[in-house]
Amino acid sequence: MATTVVQRPLNKDRLFFSGMALLILGIVIVGFAPTFYLAPLFPGRPAPAERFFYLKGVIFSTWFLLLPVQCWLIASRRVVLHRTLGIVGASIAVLMVISGIWGALIAAGRPGGFIAVSVPPLMFLVEPFFDIVTFASLVGLALIWRRDAPSHKRLMLLGSLAMVDAAAARWPFVLAVHPFWGPVAMVVILVLALAAYDLGARGRPHPVTLWAGGALILSFPLRFLIGASATWQHVAATAVEWTR
């Protein structure tokens, strides 16, 4: 008696978001390999001397590892485990915000400022600050709208993309384009890839892609204006003093 095997059709949505999550993880691993993951193999590369940054690196790495795992769990229809790990992910996100802000303040307070960054530290502090605020806002909304799957996964993806520029800035060919706009271009390309996927799969961009992705892209030139302002310089100097 012949047995008929019924195969489920490939879900393009799950394939795309899983692929993007793995791509983001790859960008982070390659970017931070010389100064964190494979630091002993790159003794000449400057890396933070403060031990705090090892803890920060573990926290951030856990998030980027969890992202493709969560996509895989949904693709495998293991929703209960996905939701359980979602609680863990929410806790990690909180730790990322705290450690991210504290680490940025420590770096800005060094005598030489941020490593391998020629921009004055108080001015450059606006960059990681915006990354963290954007991440917290988008991931927070993703948790609120966790029952709305299309919005949830786009917010999670875009929130993670908000933190990718730091890793992209450590890619040699990206830096060769421009120390600031090179990493920004990588983030913008990935946001546009999401918009292009929406067009192909839905016929139009998802509202979250439009307003959240658009806000992320527009935030980059806005950072220049805020970072150069006297008000920001005063607030940044006061905040840095708290870490000393």
- In tens, the pLDDT along 165-194 reads 999 988 887 766 776 788 899 999 999 999
Q: What does the pLDDT read at residue 176? A: 67
Q: Per residue in 197-242, pLDDT tens?
A: 999 999 999 999 999 999 999 999 999 899 999 999 999 999 998 8
- Token digits of residue 167: 């890793």
Residue 213 sits at the vertex; the CA angle it makes with 144 and 135, to the nearest 5 degrees, is 50
pLDDT at 8 over 70: no
The mean pLDDT value for 136-152 works out to: 95
> How crowded is the C-beta side of 242, counted as CA atoms within 13 Å?
9
Please state, in angstroms and rounded to a whole number, the distance separating the CA atoms of residues 7 and 4: 10
Q: How many CA atoms are closer than 13 Å to the CA of 29, on its beta-carbon side? A: 9
Is the pLDDT confidence value at 7 over 80? no
- pTM of this prediction? 0.90
What are the pLDDT digits (tens) for 99-138? Answer: 999 999 999 999 888 887 888 999 999 999 999 999 999 9
pLDDT, position 106: 94
pLDDT digits (tens, 9 = 90+) for 53-87: 999 999 999 999 999 999 999 888 899 999 999 99
What is the token pair recorded at 237? 């100097």
The whole-angstrom separation of Cα 131 and Cα 165 is: 8
**DSSP for 71-91, written as a single string:** HHHHHTT-HHHHHHHHHHHHH
| DSSP 3-state of 238 | helix
Type of residue at 35: T
- DSSP assignment letter at 111: T
pLDDT per residue as tens digits for the range 84-97: 999 999 999 999 99
What pLDDT does residue 244 have? 73
Q: Is the pLDDT of residue 46 over 90?
A: no
